[in-house]
């Protein structure tokens, strides 16, 4: 215990040092903007998908062109993540996956559009600690998948399949162009939303970037293009929260793991992530997180990886929470 305190004390000095450098240009903006890239980089060959990403989508991500005379229906799609449908977690958490559906009145064809992890949720939430690479290694890309067909049963049983509006062919085509650009520039998945506390006017330090955020962006884009969307039921989404005091910027991989001066911080981050290895299923990882209160609660520390950079979160009650809350249609 004494040893831990000394290490934490040392690291705190380092945080202050790094933090001071970061603040030279003035106040930090919250929430930290999610970083966009010029283009999506290739995935490292270390990352191997257990289930292929977007198996029935077009390999180049092409989206069919709709005639302007067509009427395209829009559907809100939601289903429980399979590992939460069965087993002991059933009923404990509402972990839902969200997507958008489309159907063409002229051709009768329908389509599903979703945004999800290339290597599943566990890999986007926790990194790999590799012998030969000092920095924790992340397989955290996420991307949009557009494919023909809507599996009505998959969405409507225990989930939602609801028509929420209609588009012209032109509006659909404009949206398609936006999706491709969004997909090329927003490349990584972020599980956590980090806030100062659970109250409605809390400060949001970091926003998640996940399937439901993609759905919200799409709805906002469709509204901007002139579509009217409405739902007969409450539109709730899963949010996975961390609660912390003001985060401190630590640095990227080369800053932290490439400098002998930050060795203690580097070791502390590796030790932290050792608790949460991504080969577990996501359900296992969440249980281990909820159980790992020794790290999160006693040491009150969480190392968040956001925009390919590390931040220190001084955690505070209630630490972690999974909610299923309303986000109205735009």
Active site residues: 97, 211
Measured on CA atoms in the order 268, 274, 275, 277, is the torsion positive or negative?
Answer: positive
> How, if at all, do strands 142-148 and 110-117 pair?
antiparallel
152 binds ligand NAG (CB under 6 A): yes
256 binds ligand NAG (CB under 6 A): no
**Residues 322, 249: Cα–Cα separation, whole Å:** 25
State the nearest-atom distance from the C-beta of 268 to ligand NAG, in Å.
Answer: 18
Among 56, 107, 158, 185, binds ligand NAG (CB under 6 A): 158
Q: Which is nearer to ligand NAG, 275 or 299 (CB)?
A: 275
β-bridge pairing 248-252 and 193-195: unpaired
9, 10, 13, 18 alpha-carbon torsion, rounded to 10°: -130
Phi, psi of 207 (to 5 degrees): -95, 145
- Interatomic CA distance for residues 48 and 81, integer angstroms: 21
Q: Interface with ligand NAG includes 266 (CB under 6 A)?
A: no
User: Residue 205 belongs to what H/E stretch?
Assistant: strand 204-206
Number of residues that bind ligand NAG (CB under 6 A): 42
Q: Which of 82, 39, 30, 5 is nearest to 187 (CA)?
A: 39
Give the interface segment with ligand NAG, choosing from 164-172, 224-232, 247-255, 291-299 (CB under 6 A). 247-255
Q: Which residue is nearest to ligand NAG (CB)?
A: 61
Write out the binding residues for ligand NAG, residues 30-89 only, by CB under 6 A.
40, 46-50, 54, 57, 61, 75, 85
Q: Is 326 in the site for ligand NAG (CB under 6 A)?
A: yes
Beta carbon of residue 123, minimum distance to ligand NAG (angstroms, whole number): 4
List the structure tokens of 316.
Answer: 């505070």
Beta strand 71-80 pairing with 96-104: antiparallel
Tokens read off for 225:
């293009």
Smaller CB separation from ligand NAG, 131 or 201: 201
What is the smallest separation between the CB atom of 235 and ligand NAG, expressed in angstroms?
A: 8
Reading the block at residue 82, the tokens are 């399979």
Does 251 participate in binding ligand NAG (rule CB under 6 A)?
A: yes
* CB of residue 85 to ligand NAG, shortest distance in Å: 5
CB of 313 to ligand NAG, least distance (A): 20
Position among 120, 140, 191, 238 found at the interface with ligand NAG (CB under 6 A):
120
Tokens of 75: 């559907």
How far is the C-alpha of 168 from the C-alpha of 227, rounded, in Å?
9
- Dihedrals phi, psi of 315, to nearest 5 degrees: -65, 150
Q: Per DSSP, what are the bridge partners of residue 32?
A: none
Is residue 25 near ligand NAG by the rule CB under 6 A? no
Task: Tell me the closest approach of the beta carbon of residue 274 to ligand NAG, in angstroms.
Answer: 16
- Applying CB under 6 A, the residues found at the interface with ligand NAG are 40, 46-50, 54, 57, 61, 75, 85, 101, 103, 110, 119-120, 123, 128, 139, 143-144, 146, 150, 152, 157-158, 179-180, 183, 199-201, 234, 236, 251-252, 254-255, 278, 324-326
């Amino acid at each position: 215990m004494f040893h831990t305190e000394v290490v934490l004390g040392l690291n705190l000095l380092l945080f202050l040092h790094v933090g001071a450098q970061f603040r030279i240009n003035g106040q930090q903006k919250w929430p930290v903007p999610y970083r966009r890239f010029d283009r999506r980089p290739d995935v490292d060959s270390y990352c191997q998908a257990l289930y292929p990403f977007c198996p029935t989508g077009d390999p180049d991500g092409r989206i069919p062109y709709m005639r302007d005379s067509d009427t395209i229906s829009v559907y809100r799609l939601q289903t429980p993540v399979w590992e939460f449908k069965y087993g002991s977690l059933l009923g404990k958490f509402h972990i839902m996956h969200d997507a958008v559906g489309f159907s063409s009145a002229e051709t009768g064809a329908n389509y599903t559009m979703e945004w999800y992890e290339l290597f599943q949720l566990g890999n986007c939430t926790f990194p790999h600690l590799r012998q030969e690479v000092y920095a924790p290694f992340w397989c955290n890309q996420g991307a949009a998948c557009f494919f023909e067909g809507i599996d009505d049963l998959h969405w409507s049983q225990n989930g939602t399949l609801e028509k929420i509006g209609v588009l012209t062919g032109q509006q659909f085509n404009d949206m398609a162009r936006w999706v491709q650009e969004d997909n090329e520039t927003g490349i990584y998945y972020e599980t956590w939303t980090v806030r100062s506390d659970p109250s409605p006017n809390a400060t949001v330090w970091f926003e998640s970037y996940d399937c439901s955020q993609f759905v919200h962006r799409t709805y906002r884009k469709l509204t901007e293009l002139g579509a009217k969307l409405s739902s007969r039921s409450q539109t709730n989404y899963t949010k996975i929260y961390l609660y912390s005091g003001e985060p401190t910027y630590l640095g990227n991989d080369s800053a932290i793991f490439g400098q002998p001066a930050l060795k203690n911080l580097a070791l502390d981050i590796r030790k932290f992530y050792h608790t949460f290895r991504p080969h577990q299923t996501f359900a296992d990882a969440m249980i281990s997180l909820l159980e790992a209160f020794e790290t999160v609660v006693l040491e009150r520390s969480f190392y968040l990886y956001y925009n390919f950079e590390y931040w220190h979160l001084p955690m505070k009650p209630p630490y972690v929470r999974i909610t299923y809350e309303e986000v109205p249609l735009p």
